[in-house]
Amino acid sequence: MAEPRIAGVELGGTKTILVLANGTEIVEQVSIPTQTPDITLAAANARLREWHAAAPIAALGIASFGPLDLAHGVMLPTPKPHWTDAPIRDALNAGIDGPVVIDTDVNGAALAEYRWGAGAQHGFTSLCYITIGTGLGGGIVIDGVPLHGAMHPEIGHIRVRRAPGDDFAGVCRFHGDCLEGLVSGPALAARFGMDGSQIPDNHPGWQNVAIEIADAIATLFLMTSVEAVLIGGGVGTARASLLPAIRACVLESLAGYLPFVTSDSVATRIAHPALGDRAGPMGALALALDALD
């Protein structure tokens, strides 16, 4: 039986990636800058219509930055200018006439990692995917199902215990020093007074960043009992020294309480995504495959 022809859209804060696939085999990929909703969604939909006209697309998966009203496929109030109330699902699916599923980009990436990445490699039945970049978001998959409730997880806006002596006020326009307000790309630029790429690896401020990310990860382990937390995104993966520092801080914070997070296992339990930067586009395809069901 032939694999279904499906499409996925990973709508990010700075760029939007469109993929066309036969099942999980990507046959075409296009990237466009994320501008205003009218420009971005129209350009993305035009490409989807081209693919659909060439041969019908069986289903569409949309993995978008949030926060989202998942029931209506609409952007909720967001710091990104002009995107509040953007009709993401309907604008992207116009003219496609097939089933569509929309979820957060991080829930999609978590689902892809569960099916084809770290979950498949290690037999995890649950995991959390965190991306740290322009913003900070987190998705959780339990037994193969993305976590939803009243909406979706908003891990970036939880508050964490601050590193001793760290008085950085944070940059989140909603909460100031929530996790996103402390360690996202814009937060690092404000905290260090320079672009993130220019911050020296040996700057002592990185320890505060590691402590604050680690506090959130320890909380996730304790509250959700996920088997692994994967850290992606430009900030999350750019510094080779950051991940080991986070692991050390998590071990110190948990103080041996959780038997599955130890010095022997922590490199597997806290890691970068096994799919690398493919986690996002593959997450959109995972949602498209779910739409077929």
In tens, the pLDDT along 143-152 reads: 999 999 888 8
Q: Would you state the pLDDT for residue 32?
A: 97
Tell me what pLDDT residue 150 has.
81
Q: How far is CA 99 from the centre of its chain?
A: 23
Calculate the alpha carbon distances from 162 to 47, 170, 215, 216 in Å: 45, 11, 9, 11
Cβ pair 233, 132 in contact under 8 A: yes
- What confidence score (pLDDT) does residue 1 get? 67
At residue 166, does pLDDT exceed 80? Answer: yes
Q: Is the pLDDT of residue 7 over 80?
A: yes
Residue 163 banded pLDDT, cuts 50, 70, 90: confident
Residue, of 119 and 234, whose pLDDT is higher: 119
The confidence score (pLDDT) of residue 200 equals: 87
The DSSP code sequence of the chain is -PPPEEEEEEE-SSEEEEEEEETTEEEEEEEEE---HHHHHHHHHHHHHHHHHHS---EEEEEE-S-EETTTTEE-S-SSTT-TT--HHHHHHTTT-S-EEEEEHHHHHHHHHHHHSHHHHHT-SEEEEEEESSSEEEEEEETTEE--SSS---GGG---PPPTT------BTTTBSSHHHHHSHHHHHHHHTS-GGGS-TT-THHHHHHHHHHHHHHHHHHHH--S-EEEESHHHHH-TTHHHHHHHHHHHHHTT-STTSSTTTHHHHEE--TTGGGHHHHHHHHHHHHHH-
pLDDT for residue 100 = 97
Domains of the chain with bracketed CATH: 5-105+278-292 (3.30.420.40), 118-274 (3.30.420.40)
Cβ-based burial of 70 (10 A; exposed 0-12, middle 13-18, buried ≥19): buried
34-48, 100-114, 195-209, 212-226: least confident range: 195-209
Tell whether the model's pLDDT for residue 79 goes beyond 90.
no
Tokens of 133: 């970049």
Burial class of residue 2 (count of CB atoms within 10 Å of its CB; 0-12, 13-18, 19+): exposed
pLDDT of 223: 95
| Backbone angles phi and psi of 226, in degrees to 5 | -60, 150
Q: Distance between CA 252 and CA 59 in Å, rounded?
A: 46
Type of residue found at 208: N
Average pLDDT over residues 92-121: 96
Q: How far apart are CA 211 and CA 170, in angstroms?
A: 15
Q: How far apart are CA 148 and CA 7, in angstroms?
A: 23
Q: Per residue in 176-223, pLDDT tens?
A: 899 999 999 999 999 999 887 888 888 988 999 999 999 999 999 999
pLDDT score for 78: 87
**How high is the mean pLDDT of the chain?**
94
pLDDT value of position 14: 87
* Amino acid, single-letter form, for residue 178: C
